[in-house]
Structure 1
Amino acid sequence: MFWIAISIGVIFVLWGVLFPQMLIDVMTNTQGVLLDKFGWFYQFSATFFFIIAIFFALSKYGKIRLGKDTDRPEYSTLTWFAMLFSAGMGIGQLFYGVSEPVSHYATPPFGKGGTIESAKVGLRYTYLHWGFHAWAIYAVVALALAYYKFRKGMPGLMSATLYPVIGDRAKGPIGYIVDIIAVFATIFGVAISLGIGAQQINSGLHYLMDVPINFSIQLIIMGIATVLYITSASTGLSKGIKYLSNANMVLAVLLFILFLIVGPSQFVLELFLTTFGSYVQNLPSMGLRFSPFNVENNQWVKDWTIFYWAWWISWTPFVGTFIARVSKGRTVREFIIAVIIVPTIVCSLWFGVFGGTGLYYDLVQGVDVAGQSLETALFYVFDQMPLSGVLSIISLFLIITFFVTSADSATFVLGMQTSNGSLNPPFFVKFSWGIILAAIAAIIMGTGGISGLQAATIITALPLGIILLVMTYGLLISFQKEIRVKNKKETDRH
């Protein structure tokens, strides 16, 4: 499995080096076809996973433990949350924290831009993209992986989750194909984080030290980060990733509190409460929204909402495996509620404060925040605030630590996926994937930029999304069987 997957990775890297324009053309054209023909599938899938996750939590299956009945959680709740948060979405929240709500405010999904109403709509759709749907996708996949690994003693592989549906074929060629799709979905999904992380570190260095913003600098940043995350991954989960996750949490909380205190606190908190309530109220219609009679509005859905669903689906082998790995001993109900509710509230509050502050300076103060690029918007807002230097330095350190944690978590998971689900993959395997991951991120960034990474993600998310639907059906079969066996034992006892 390792050699097959690594060979495909090397071929992809060589393709990008030798024929870069051909690579980006193929990916862009394929992306266009998939969005036109299968955009509905991504929308449907995200909403389905949200509904089925709630069903699992509230049903009789909620009492099933992810492990033996006597198992209890390995990590404290606080450390567990930190690991979920850091591996899940950390670097994207800094990149999009100010820029996404402001971008939606300027170019909303419907209606006129640059208005009070578009500001509210912008925040509401940002919550949608980073909220319940996103974490439900992670939760369902992580639930399946944890259940089969810790309760059934099966390998921690995506193919193993299909066993109830396809039987022993999960161990043959079909299983290999499933696991290879999962590997490359992970690579492309994480590559986006590495790309936007390198761009924003470059932007921060430009604001602090006047370092020029260009791809050469970003390539150097990715090279340094590669050394850091491979070193971190080599120390193992309990040391490197655990300590970095806790450091991330401390820095993120510090930045959030400082930002809230020195910014327009009352304005952003009132705006958050208003828009979050509206988000919850409009959740069903937002989660299934298209605009088939309006080409421009429909394109907005594809460019933003569909891209996000594809991104989260592509991250599921990575984030799902990682969340499963650190969630042994939790019950299904405890697991689902924690993984969906808590991160959604935290993410929404983060975007409400950072995005709300950006909207305040643009809409109320007349500062052109909407005119900034995605990677520079955060530092531009810092410039308008007291303690701007302190905020910039903390953000830069936080981006770097999020960069390293996301990447070393990914190399760890890629190692697991290509060493038969081993909870402690060999260093050589992790090292190899660390190099391939950095090379693919650099090549796509150099040829197509962020749009190239988005294309790769949307392409890999389609077959993976189909696999996840089959996996969910298999999980339901397994849960039903377990309850039947439990009920029969209780009947026999009486």
Structure 2
Amino acid sequence: MSIKPPNEEGTQPDLPGEQASPGTSAGTTPPAPIERSKFGGTPRRHERAFDDDAPVSRSDLSKGPQDVLEAPTARINWRVLLVSSMVIIAFSLWAILGPNEARTSMKIAVDWIATNLGWYYVLTMTLVIGFVVWVAFSKEGNVRLGPDQSRPQYKLSTWVAMLFAAGVGIDMLFFSVTGPIVQYLHPPAGAGGTPEALQDAVVWTMFHYGVAGWSMYALLGMAMGYFAYRWGMPLSIRAALYPLLGKRVRGSLGDGISTIALVGTVFGVATSMGIGVVLLSVGFSLLFGLEQGLSLQIALVIGAVILTVLATTSGVDRGIRWISELNLWSAVAMMVYILVTGQTAFLLNALTENIGRFLVTFPARTLETFVYAPGGAEWMGSWTLFFWAFWLAWGPFVGVFLARISRGRTLREFVIAAITAPVLCDFFIVSLFGNSAMYHVLQGDTAFAQLAVDSPERGWYALLGMFPGAMFLIGLATLSGLLFYLTSANSGAMVMSNFSASIPDPSQDGPKWLRIFWAVLTAVLTVAMLLAGGVTTMEYATLIFALPVTIIAYLVMASFYKVLQMERAEREGQVLRKPSMAPIGGYLPERSWKQRLEQLHSFASSKQAIQFIDRTVRPALEDVAAEFRNQGYQAVCEDITSERGIQEPQLRVSMDSYRAFHYHVALVEAPVPMFSGRMTREVDVYYRLEVFTQTGSGGYDLMGLTKQQVIDDVLERFEAHLAFLTFSSNTDTASVLTPPMPAREG
């Protein structure tokens, strides 16, 4: 049936096109409202017409899983798979068969983008940074990636380490030496080799590997995680756009968005792999006496594919976690070795000054386009715009991983951790390598400086050769780089398989054969770009193919803003209900004074809580559901299996296009308070029966109530839900993608 909010006079308006409610014929009076005399009072019913095919704004997000998923089980999205594969194969063949033409054409396209759309990339990343910071510090920052009762799976230190491993690639090692030297000798504005250029040399690389990239990761990660864990939708970009596009995310429009995200991800990963093999080929040449060149680079790409296939067929999750952990420890060992055996005092002083200058100049750098500097567009295209495009392309890839490890985190801690902890780690790596290189340049080693500019991969290893125990450090650095490389290849294949499939369970991945397919296709693309000109061509391709991804960034921000407004409407709706609620405040059901005193020193076991559910709670919910159905509502009382395997009762009342009413009684473990009425604690934990709506817990315990008190609480909650619908309908706004609602009469 349709639930309409009342107008100002308290009457129910009639809207055009209203459908007949269950149990009535068209044009007849809807079912009579539930009489509180049955249970103790009469809540009002609110109705509004809504086109089920229209995009969703502040409506029933619980329909999302059915609207987004094409099937209840995992299946391949052949349209996304075939279209994205054909785009990548066509580009690869073009680069392989006509490398010179491909390189020249992409250079023309990049020059045009840098000259005409540089402002667009800069503005996009600035808005992304501002948006995620706003989310973190807004009132909705307390919203969790999951139900309100959910808690993080990993402790803070483990989680932060995994954040670092997710977003750091071998490309950072590549640019950590060449970047500062190039900015010192050839700065974007002013003369090179000056004290002013020196002051900014390392800071520019820190800026490029700083807050902007991690803000993009945080945006897509929190959006996908929110819809997956709080609303039960797939872990995908299309699910994050459900409030804007509604059921259309399951059609051609949604497939197009998934294809854009997938192609951008493939080019981002291929660029990282291409940079990696260029760098690693020098290391393998030094360690094993192999001849440097394209043949060795292609061999490394093939080796990565073989290892990815082995990891996939032998348990990819375990393999990726093992490689990531080893990756982190090898990187830490390399940094400590450089700090201890290098110019320790100089490096620490430089790190401190670099961070300070970064913080002071960050706002200006974020909006800098060098429009007044000669050759500014060319510099922007080679550096800032390339990195912004790189983070855009990597955004869906890293965002999926961040979401997978962050269930139960609040939006505030997710964003703050993502744009601080890994960024500081990035700063440490860039500053140590960059300032170690700058120290030798300042000592007059012009040959090393020129080598780092002309051949960044050889310049990086030349720097390592200047430290004591050079071969040991070169071996350690090559191992660390190889692990960075393999992590990107393995994780990339897994994420690409997810993007080209429809998977209901966020914890599951695409089939093994699909991961192998994407590993092979990414390798083919990497080889094609190496043949077409190496790192420079990869930069061109990334900048071009990341352009459509900017559209996804804007759509995700708009969609997530809408859903946060819905969260706020839910909260405000509850606030509006408080004056007419129980005198003891909040949603806490009224208890007798003896019940309240008993609860102060009564701590139920799991067995006692389950017995109370069976004897009191479930019968109460079944009676309410039966009366709802008698009066024409679509109501059902069903059991939900918890993570502990316990059958928890839930009452659900459907409201057509509006958010359904949920009353879910969950078994929640809690520590026994030290200030309880008991002198000593016999147990460490007890179990509460908390009430959850779609947005979390009411914060109170049903244990000890009578059946009638449980029924009264259900109706209080239902009245609050109707108040929320009233508030949200009064604040509905129209957008390009969300047509205006029919006007209310009366």
Correspondence 1:70 to 2:172? no
Task: Name 2:125's counterpart in structure 1.
Answer: 46
Task: Name 1:361's counterpart in structure 2.
Answer: 440
Task: Name 2:115's counterpart in structure 1.
Answer: 36
Higher strand share: 2
Q: Aligned to 2:447, what secondary structure does the other structure show?
A: coil
**In structure 2, what residue type is equivalent to 1:406?**
S
Query: Matches of 1:381 and 1:17 in 2, distance apart?
Result: 33
Choose the corresponding residue for 1:179, options 234, 258, 276.
258
Query: Matches of 1:401 and 1:390 in 2, distance apart?
Result: 17
Query: Matches of 1:280 and 1:464 in 2, distance apart?
Result: 28
Decide whether the 8 Å contact of 1:93 with 1:351 is kept in 2.
yes
Correspondences of 1:269-288 after superposition (within 5 Å): 269-288=348-367
Query: Matches of 1:65 and 1:236 in 2, distance apart?
Result: 30
Query: Matches of 1:197 and 1:119 in 2, distance apart?
Result: 28
If the length of structure 1 is used for normalisation, what is the TM-score?
0.96
Q: Aligned to 1:472, what secondary structure does the other structure show?
A: helix
Decide whether the 8 Å contact of 2:320 with 2:491 is kept in 1.
yes
Query: Matches of 1:371 and 1:338 in 2, distance apart?
Result: 38
How many residues align structurally? 494
**In structure 2, what residue type is equivalent to 1:476?**
Y
Query: Matches of 2:246 and 2:281 in 1, distance apart?
Result: 49
Task: Name 1:164's counterpart in structure 2.
Answer: 243
Task: Name 2:346's counterpart in structure 1.
Answer: 267
* CA positional deviation for 1:181: 0.6
* CA positional deviation for 1:90: 2.5
Query: Matches of 2:221 and 2:509 in 1, distance apart?
Result: 18
Decide whether the 8 Å contact of 1:195 with 1:450 is kept in 2.
yes
* CA positional deviation for 1:402: 0.7
Task: Name 1:478's counterpart in structure 2.
Answer: 563
Correspondence 1:492 to 2:577? yes
Correspondences of 1:241-256 after superposition (within 5 Å): 241-256=320-335
Choose the corresponding residue for 1:209, options 284, 288, 303.
288
Decide whether the 8 Å contact of 1:245 with 1:405 is kept in 2.
yes
Correspondence 1:193 to 2:275? no
**In structure 1, what residue type is equivalent to 2:395?**
T
Of 67-76 and 142-151, deviating more is 67-76
Query: Matches of 1:159 and 1:234 in 2, distance apart?
Result: 28
Decide whether the 8 Å contact of 2:188 with 2:370 is kept in 1.
no
Correspondence 1:450 to 2:573? no
Task: Name 2:458's counterpart in structure 1.
Answer: 376
Task: Name 1:406's counterpart in structure 2.
Answer: 488
Identity of aligned residues (%): 30
Distance change in 2, residues 1:433/1:409 (3 Å): same
If the length of structure 2 is used for normalisation, what is the TM-score?
0.64
Q: Give CA deviations for 1:44-83 in whole Å, capped at 9, x if unaligned.
A: 1111111111111111111000011122222333333333
Q: Alpha carbon RMSD of aligned pairs, Å?
A: 1.7
Correspondence 1:231 to 2:316? no
Correspondences of 1:93-104 after superposition (within 5 Å): 93-104=172-183
Choose the corresponding residue for 1:346, options 408, 417, 425.
425
Correspondences of 1:101-116 after superposition (within 5 Å): 101-116=180-195
Task: Name 2:72's counterpart in structure 1.
Answer: none
Task: Name 2:234's counterpart in structure 1.
Answer: 155
Query: Matches of 2:377 and 2:259 in 1, distance apart?
Result: 32
Of 207-216 and 7-16, deviating more is 7-16
**In structure 1, what residue type is equivalent to 2:279?**
Q
Decide whether the 8 Å contact of 1:233 with 1:411 is kept in 2.
no
Correspondence 1:428 to 2:510? no
* CA positional deviation for 1:9: 3.2
Q: Give CA deviations for 1:194-226 in whole Å, capped at 9, x if unaligned.
A: 011101111112333332221111000111111
**In structure 1, what residue type is equivalent to 2:347?**
V
Task: Name 1:126's counterpart in structure 2.
Answer: 205
* CA positional deviation for 1:311: 0.7
Query: Matches of 1:117 and 1:294 in 2, distance apart?
Result: 15
Higher helix share: 1
Q: Which runs of 5+ in 1 are unaligned?
A: none
Query: Matches of 1:298 and 1:180 in 2, distance apart?
Result: 30
* CA positional deviation for 1:27: 2.8
**In structure 2, what residue type is equivalent to 1:413?**
V
Choose the corresponding residue for 1:327, options 394, 399, 406.
406
Of structures 1 and 2, the one with the larger relative CO (CA 8 A, separation 6+) is 1
Correspondence 1:417 to 2:496? no
